[in-house]
Amino acid sequence: MSTDADPDEQRDAALAAALAAALAAAAAAAAAAADAVERALAEDLLADGDITAALVPPTATGHFVLRSRANGVLAGRACAAETFRRLDPDLKIVWHHHDGDTLAADDPVMEVTGPLRPILTAERTALNFLGHLSGIATLTAQFVSLAHAVHPSVHILDTRKTTPGLRTLEKAAVRAGGGTSHRASLSEAVLVKDNHLAGTTITEAVHRARQLWPGRMVEIECDALDQVAEAARAGADAVLLDNMDPGAVVEAIAVAHLEATGPILTEVSGGVTLGSIAAYAAAGPDRISIGALTHSTTALDLGLDLIWTEGG
């Protein structure tokens, strides 16, 4: 009897694993949103609370529409919703878009109705989260579009160059823009960089990683072809081609596949811009990681517009 795995069972197992990963990521993002909002509101609301909103009569109510002022991609909805919920769980909120949706200038994103005081107190915190995270999603979408125009299967990855305390949210924003998350912590995968090689060799690092962390991805940062060859021969799962020009990337990919003892991923990293992403994608790597997705974004301009008030 054949011991080969049934293709349908393999497909079902892969789908189940992908679903479990997506659910885990969603749960992590929800928990991160609650934590970030709690810390953000604590910065604003000290013992005396919002002393300006207190000038508004407690009976005053209003209806607001949050609009995008520019083209972009939405991210951070959970943070905005949690901000308003923390200030008043009875506020009526209606969303017109989901994270990952494309926005045009003047598009309504959400509406909020209820007492003026909590809406005014929540406004800036909600906009800060939405603007920052939507800016990340928007920039990511631009990189993905340019890369996929020449290499549809290449993955655009973020890095650990994230705002301290906001990594989970920023990586979720990258995914909303069509990107892929690199490792979220130092425990998820082994990534041997140049400073690690001050105390070991590439081959020793790969072998030691296999002994200590079987099953974890092992990736080696390389800035020269001889390093690519050594990493591939040592059995690394991936090589990170650091600060190479597109021509050198083509050579490095060829070396990696020639010398590899099994499947190997190739990843480009270092100084990739909107102007150069197409050339790097055309070189044929599996992945391109871009720190600028999270450390050099411009916030998407959004605003909360008052539609009506009553009872003041």
Q: Which of 124, 188, 204, 310 is catalytic?
A: 124
Residue 76 backbone phi and psi in degrees, to 5: 100, 15
**Active-site choice (85, 160, 161, 216):** 161
Catalytic: 193? Answer: yes
- Which residue among 237, 242, 267, 287 is the active-site one? 242
**Active-site residue identified among 219, 221, 237, 267:** 221
Catalytic residue among 193, 204, 226, 245: 193
Q: Which residue has tokens 């008043």?
A: 88
89 alpha carbon, distance to own chain's centre: 28
3-class secondary structure, 236:
coil
Residues 6+ apart with CB under 8 A from 186: none
Is 92 considered catalytic here?
no
Is 221 considered catalytic here? yes
φ/ψ of residue 51, rounded to 5: -75, -15
Tokens of 187: 């425990």
Give 96's DSSP letter.
Answer: S
Q: b/e map of 130-155 (b: 16 or more CB within 10 Å)?
A: bbbbbbbbbbbbbbbebbbeebeebb
Collapsed DSSP state (helix, strand, coil) of residue 111: strand
Whose CA is closest to 126, among 59, 91, 64, 76?
A: 76
DSSP 93: E
Residue 242 appears among annotated catalytic residues: yes
Q: Is 245 a catalytic residue?
A: no
**Residues recognised as catalytic:** 124, 161, 193, 221, 242
